[in-house]
Structure 1
């Protein structure tokens, strides 16, 4: 992992982040001065559990896994962060160490936005504070949904929900979903073993509800898949 030398227009990238889209050009310019580029190869660690946060991150391209290791040595994936999204905002404000580690799942370009720059802008502009609170509230809402799903939903229902997560309103349409990373990482994200995950995919294939081709999942009838296991 090393600092990137892409000559990127950091101000333009920051301006397109929903968190910053109400800020003025001068405010964006100040944030850009507190931002550095990180070029992470697949497998690189952006930060370790226990490290002290110095800011938060925006993925320009690539994908990052947030996870921790259990005392037994197993990995639990907390989140798979895609291109265009930010992460580590909440812990940045706590002055406590990271509870997870961040690892690139693909070659990635990441921006690190310094905590000091964010705090300076929060002092100047309450709009940013409102946006950050809204964003963190959405993350908390998703976390509670995850806890509810782990507690109440079957593994089958969790997988179906994951496959249809970007198609909440589709009904009866044929779609193809591309898994963002390998099945083991996704299984951990859904609080399943890889064996259980693969077994359920096989079951859905046997029922004719999906066709699996590597990371591509073809769904012939969204309505039928959504109704299965209800």
Structure 2
């Protein structure tokens, strides 16, 4: 994927919540250690075991983080969208990547080098607190996922996922539509379900009148009614 229009890295960095407390000269220093990465749909950004020399910010597009089991089964760990960052924890651990990253659509990323981040952390402790907060949120989500996989049925996991994907201000609305961010197989893996199990549950929810499936669009006639079945 090629671009004829160079982006303004400093402008992009200044709009990231992680860096919004930094002065222009601090942003400029980080920008010098930042490069653009273009990924076409299907491209592998990095493989498990590759060295981690910084972290990535997704400017636009969509990425998945996943690993492959010894049996060859793929497990999706996270689906990332515009504005999200990833790789910070591995960067701090100074370990190789433990997952692979693949573009789900044409994407533009920024790679912010470890050296630039570490230099700035020496100067600005607020940046360190923000990065810790971001990683803590990621860890909390991971713990929530483990709890869901362990204690909740497949049906409860799918209903919980649909409720999390609701558009803003529609928590108790009727006739809400959720647009799935990617194909059902990837979402099924993210929820620790097989694609067949995922499809079967969608069919059951449809028969119960809780949802109407139209491709990647999931129409919900009544959010409160769906919520009652969350368990």
Q: Which of the five TM-score ranges fits, normalised by the shorter chain?
A: over 0.9
Farther-moved stretch of structure 1 (161-170 vs 67-76): 161-170
**What is the Cα deviation at residue 25 of structure 1?**
1.1
Any residues of structure 2 matched to 1:94-113 within 5 Å, and which? 94-113=93-112
> TM-score, length-normalised on structure 1?
0.96
RMSD of aligned Cα (Å): 1.4
C-alpha distance in 1 between matches for 2:137 and 2:67? 22
Partner in structure 1 of residue 12 of structure 2: 13
Any residues of structure 2 matched to 1:91-170 within 5 Å, and which? 91-167=90-166, 170=171
Give 3-state SS (helix, strand or coil) of 2:159's partner. Answer: helix
**What is the Cα deviation at residue 228 of structure 1?**
1.3
**What is the Cα deviation at residue 39 of structure 1?**
0.9
Cα contact 1:187–1:197 (8 A) shared by 2: yes
Partner in structure 1 of residue 210 of structure 2: 209
Farther-moved stretch of structure 1 (11-20 vs 102-111): 11-20
> TM-score, length-normalised on structure 2?
0.96
**What is the Cα deviation at residue 5 of structure 1?**
5.0
Give 3-state SS (helix, strand or coil) of 2:174's partner. Answer: coil
Q: For the structure 1 residues 14 and 215, does the alpha-carbon distance in structure 2 shift closer, same or farther, using more than 3 Å as the test?
A: same
**What is the Cα deviation at residue 172 of structure 1?**
3.9
C-alpha distance in 2 between matches for 1:206 and 1:35? 51
C-alpha distance in 2 between matches for 1:175 and 1:182? 20
C-alpha distance in 1 between matches for 2:128 and 2:228? 41
C-alpha distance in 2 between matches for 1:26 and 1:5? 27
Farther-moved stretch of structure 1 (74-83 vs 17-26): 17-26
**What is the Cα deviation at residue 211 of structure 1?**
0.8
Q: What is the number of equivalent residue pairs in this alignment?
A: 229
Deviations 1:186-213 (A, max 9, x none): 0000000000000001111111111111
**Runs of 4+ in structure 1 over 2 Å off:** 166-169
Any residues of structure 2 matched to 1:208-227 within 5 Å, and which? 208-227=209-228
C-alpha distance in 2 between matches for 1:6 and 1:17? 21
Cα contact 1:11–1:28 (8 A) shared by 2: yes
Q: Structure 1 regions of 5+ residues with no counterpart?
A: none
1:180 aligns with 2:181: yes
Deviations 1:101-152 (A, max 9, x none): 0000001011111110000000010010010011100001000000000000
